[in-house]
Chains A and B, each alone.
Chain A
């Protein structure tokens, strides 16, 4: 998809004015984070599991080539096919070819962020194949022709009224007086439409939460069961996954599952967890006749060994979005591409380029909440700083801000001159700020547009202190401090 990341500032402004979005985001604050906290509290070993999960992925990334080859071998042994794709274009072409070989007219899809990343829906449509999203949230945004605004809750930005309007627009056979006020009614409407698609689809396209090297299995986690109908009913099952989704063993997969849902939604485990291994076997009652795995690189190997290496541990739980005060203020669309929040701000520049996404690493207070909840303990703030560093080296961003910083640095490195300059500035600001604060200051508009600015309260601390002042200690209450 075409990114709108360069317009982040305007996107954010618009998002802040969007009342239904703000109402939806307010609900997010009371939902997932509290549920995560409760789920973690129910599991005493939760913090240890986070360490274990991190170590599993760290180990995988150090031996990725070996595990990928081992995984491929197992997939082939079980009768499946593995397609190695370096770019998004390769992956789209590969998927199209498999669909064409199957004479596919309809492709059902369960939610996959990688499929968003490679924008496969548009491509299939251009080639005369109908892709149908079957995750409720994805189905809604597909009807609205919008990107997901959250990696696990793609339509979280919408109210149920907006969803009802969307269905009325898209489902032309829907009776006008049929009530769609309740979530259940919306669900039933979508379910009825999707049921016929599930049954008529020629190909089912799913993502993978994990790929298990030991068995050649892909793991699918959903709350709606739509992935199971997607991978089981059509004649062909295609899995699209990026290469870092590998874990060594079934045991490792279950360790990661124990932190995944708890971090994401606060569930102990999602409603459906499915393990798919190869096509239908001789005595199987159901399952696809063909099983294909499209393994995508799309920039991942460039991240290995770089300062963004640890980002490849990400299991896409969305905890960093749910806890990010910036995400909760503006929602996912403001970030301008398929990912969002802190993980998006680190990942997007890797995928669409640092210049295109240059706002994103700055749109953070580096408050550290994301890192504190990340099940894989990814140092997201540190990586945002690394992007800022790369940008600074490449001289991206406003020249004025750069010069302001450089002048300030020049002063900071020269304590004597700095002292003189600060004494002067404080004297001037103190004079004009005699009311204690400023309502507006021409050189500090960014600040004073939203808040008052406290004025300096006198000479600098250092000059007062070295002139013998010790502060106002005239209070009638004497405080004595001492050691316990």
Chain B
């Protein structure tokens, strides 16, 4: 597939995918390679720094941002399977280096070639998927950062609509926050519970048997609440479906339950 004109993509896997759900990383690599990219997964990557940034620890966030930019700035594109980390790399790094004559231009150049996975496949690589089949009624949750910081709305839906047998249904609250919010959900568990319950109720009302989204934080939150409430709706990252990697267990399911 690859040749001289193939873009070189550095995959920023995100700390959650790296630790909790490697299949999303594999799905991203496969989708990118199928789209004609040469994919590299730099070993120096850890986390985008968002937990520190949202906790107000700006000076450490700046150190982390420098580290990420340095490890990735030589690729043609940086692709990340998360709207939240994508928003961090694309928008908040620029804010961090405002007025810094060396790093502001580097952060800007880095941001310009950074994309969330699904919007990259649809907007930049103009991928059209064929031969995919999955019999499922799927609800899509718009993660807040993906939707409002990166304007990801149509792209994942367009890609999912190419899957034969997949019936995409819309919750009326698809754009409402699920209550994850990073440390918010452990700092204010009661409020978070109320929010994720509203999300779960909305998903149940769609009649979906599967929930997908582009952010593992939201997905783990929603899956965990569905399971606590004994509701049998499978939860997966959108990329798993698009890469035909749905043979393993859904989020939070045991290994033999695939």
Contacts and interface: CB of A to CB of B under 8 A. Distances in A.
B195 A329 contact: yes
B19 A425 contact: yes
Interface stretch (B100-108, B109-117, B206-214, B239-247): B239-247
Interface string B29-69: 11100111000010111110101111111101001100100
A457 B248 CA distance: 10
Contacts of A12: 188, 190-191
A453 B64 CA distance: 27
Nearest to B222: A451
Considering residues A371, A426, A454, A469, which has the most beta carbons from chain B within 10 angstroms of its beta carbon? Answer: A454
Contact of A393 (B20, B56, B224, B255): B56
B6 to A, nearest CB: 11
A392 B249 contact: no
A373 to B, nearest CB: 11
A473 B185 CA distance: 34
Contact of B44 (A368, A382, A415, A458): A415
Interface string A299-341: 0000000000000000000000000011001100000000000
Contacts of B46: 411-413, 415, 418
Given A389-B58, A461-B17, A461-B26, A479 B194 contact: no
A46 B104 CA distance: 34
A462 B190 contact: no
Contacts of A475: 244-247
A447 B252 CA distance: 14
Interface string B123-167: 001111111110000000000110011000000000000000000
Contact of A461 (B18, B145, B176, B192): B18
Contact of A477 (B34, B132, B175, B187): B132
Interface stretch (A115-123, A285-293, A359-367): A359-367
Contacts of B198: 325
Interface in B198-244: 198, 220-221, 223-225, 227-228, 242-244
A326 B27 CA distance: 34
B227 A471 contact: no
Interface string A454-477: 111111111011100111111101
A461 B187 contact: no
B21 A457 contact: yes
Nearest to B20: A456
B133 A477 contact: yes
Contacts of B31: 481
Contacts of A482: 34-36, 127-128, 130
B22 A464 contact: yes
Nearest to A425: B19
A480 interface: yes
A469 B26 contact: yes
A475 B189 CA distance: 39
A470 B180 CA distance: 30
B84 to A, nearest CB: 10
A457 B255 contact: yes
B87 to A, nearest CB: 9
A385 B92 CA distance: 11
B132 A479 contact: yes
Given A369-B144, A482-B34, A465 B149 contact: no
Contact of A388 (B17, B30, B55): B55
A394 B190 CA distance: 27
Interface in A406-431: 406, 408-409, 411-413, 415, 418-419, 422, 425-426
B18 A415 contact: no
B179 interface: yes
Contact of A434 (B27, B252, B254): B254
Interface string A370-396: 011000000000100101111111000
A326 B175 CA distance: 15
B249 A457 contact: yes
A415 B183 CA distance: 22
Contact of A451 (B21, B36, B188, B221): B221
B127 A470 contact: no
Contacts of A477: 131-133, 244
Given A368-B144, A415-B45, A480-B130, A388 B56 contact: yes
A60 to B, nearest CB: 24
Given A412-B46, A461-B19, 9 more contacts: A413-B64, A446-B189, A451-B224, A456-B21, A462-B13, A465-B22, A466-B43, A477-B244, A481-B127
A-B residue pairs, 6 tightest by C-beta: A471-B26, A365-B181, A446-B186, A451-B224, A481-B34, A392-B56
Interface of B: 13, 17-27, 29-31, 34-36, 41, 43-47, 49, 51-58, 60, 63-64, 67, 95, 125-133, 144-145, 148-149, 175-177, 179-196, 198, 220-221, 223-225, 227-228, 242-249, 251-255, 257
28 contacts: A13-B190, A329-B194, A362-B184, A362-B188, A363-B184, A369-B176, A385-B56, A389-B56, A392-B58, A393-B56, A412-B64, A418-B46, A422-B18, A452-B225, A457-B20, A457-B23, A457-B255, A461-B19, A462-B41, A465-B22, A469-B26, A470-B30, A471-B30, A472-B247, A474-B247, A480-B34, A481-B128, A483-B126
Interface of A: 9, 12-13, 16, 325-326, 329-330, 362-369, 371-372, 382, 385, 387-393, 401, 405-406, 408-409, 411-413, 415, 418-419, 422, 425-426, 434-437, 444, 446-447, 449-462, 464-466, 469-475, 477-484
